[in-house]
Amino acid sequence: MTTALEIDEELLDAFIGDGSIADVLYVVRSGKEATVYCCRGAAASGGGLVAAKVYRPLDRRNFRNDAIYQTGRDAAMESRTRRALANKTRHGRDVQYGAWINAEFQTMRMLHAAGADVPEVFSRSNGAILMEYFGDEEAAAPMLNRVTVPREQAEQLLRRIIDNVTLWLTNHLVHGDLSPYNLLYWEGRIVAIDFPQAVDARINPSARALLGRDLENVCGYFSKYRIRSDAERIAKALWAHYRAGRL
């Protein structure tokens, strides 16, 4: 039987083989859905650090395939694929795996190009994404929930996060799993990660609720700095502007 580690090795070896990375330095974190590795980029691209997010093989993880995230996602799929997905066949599961990784790659690429504070993505394979790394050779950037930022900076960071949420919504996207666990803090700035479940605000009926929850998680974190912000009021105003085409 192949272990999860062997599968990761195979995927990482392929990136070394095609010259995308030179070396794997350390494991950053092995989460419920993916393992992230710190890698040295290939000499051709300057040799800087690169993050490899390797998704868990399908049968070892539970995709967040709740209807709330998937609504609208399969609109463009062929009916054969849609049937396979509905029936949870092997083909359907493969499609779902690919769709999930592709969704994260495309979302991050689009948002980075739009100027959002998200890692730049470089490439993807069937099972992994290579992206800009935040951290150094010793350690990765900490998640926001692990740090206490200087009080005088906190307000500005919250503003910046809300500006990001606004920019995402301008691009019809709601993160859907935003929290201090998916915000990295590096060199005084924040970086948002973990986008596979992002939803399309134009078609997903849960988008408004997810926007509220995302903002609740963020504002809740900043309340420890005695910054009072009303997540629901912000969500309501943002949504109203969005729906009116005024964002």
Ligand X SMILES: Nc1ncnc2c1ncn2[C@@H]1O[C@H](COP(=O)(O)OP(=O)(O)O)[C@@H](O)[C@H]1O
| Catalytic position from the list 8, 59, 74, 177 | 177
For residue 166, give the H/E element and its range: helix 151-170
Check: CB of residue 47 under 8 Å from CB of residue 40.
yes
Picking from 202, 197, 208, the residue whose alpha carbon sits closest to that of residue 235 is 208
Binding mask 142-171 for ligand X (x = CB under 6 A): -x----------------------------
Provide the binding-site residues for Mg ion, judged by CB under 5 A: 182, 194
For position 141 contacting ligand X by CB under 6 A, the verdict is: yes
Q: Which amino acid is at 160?
A: R
178 versus 238: smaller Cβ distance to ligand X: 178
Q: How far apart are CA 205 and CA 197, in angstroms?
A: 14
Q: Which spans in 38-142 are helix H?
A: 67-70, 79-87, 90-113
Question: Can you read off the two tokens belonging to residue 184?
Answer: 């990295």
Q: Determine which residue in the list 12, 21, 24, 28 makes contact with ligand X, applying CB under 6 A.
A: 28
246 contact choice in Mg ion, ligand X, none (CB below 5 to 8 Å, kind-dependent): none
Q: Which spans in 171-230 are helix H?
A: 207-222
For position 182 contacting ligand X by CB under 6 A, the verdict is: yes
Does the active-site annotation cover 74? no
Give SS3 for 173. strand
For residue 125, give the H/E element and its range: strand 121-125
Question: Can you read off the two tokens belonging to residue 84?
Answer: 């396979």
Q: Determine which residue in the list 63, 105, 134, 242 makes contact with ligand X, applying CB under 6 A.
A: 134
196 versus 212: smaller Cβ distance to ligand X: 196
Cα of first residue to Cα of last residue in the chain, in angstroms, is 52
29 versus 202: smaller Cβ distance to ligand X: 29
For position 133 contacting ligand X by CB under 6 A, the verdict is: yes
Stretch that binds ligand X, among 30-38, 71-79, 94-102, 149-157 (CB under 6 A): 30-38
37 versus 242: smaller Cβ distance to ligand X: 37
Q: Which residues are catalytic?
A: 177
Residues lying near ligand X in the complex (CB under 6 A) are found at 28-29, 31-34, 36, 51, 53, 119, 131-135, 140-141, 143, 182, 184, 193-194
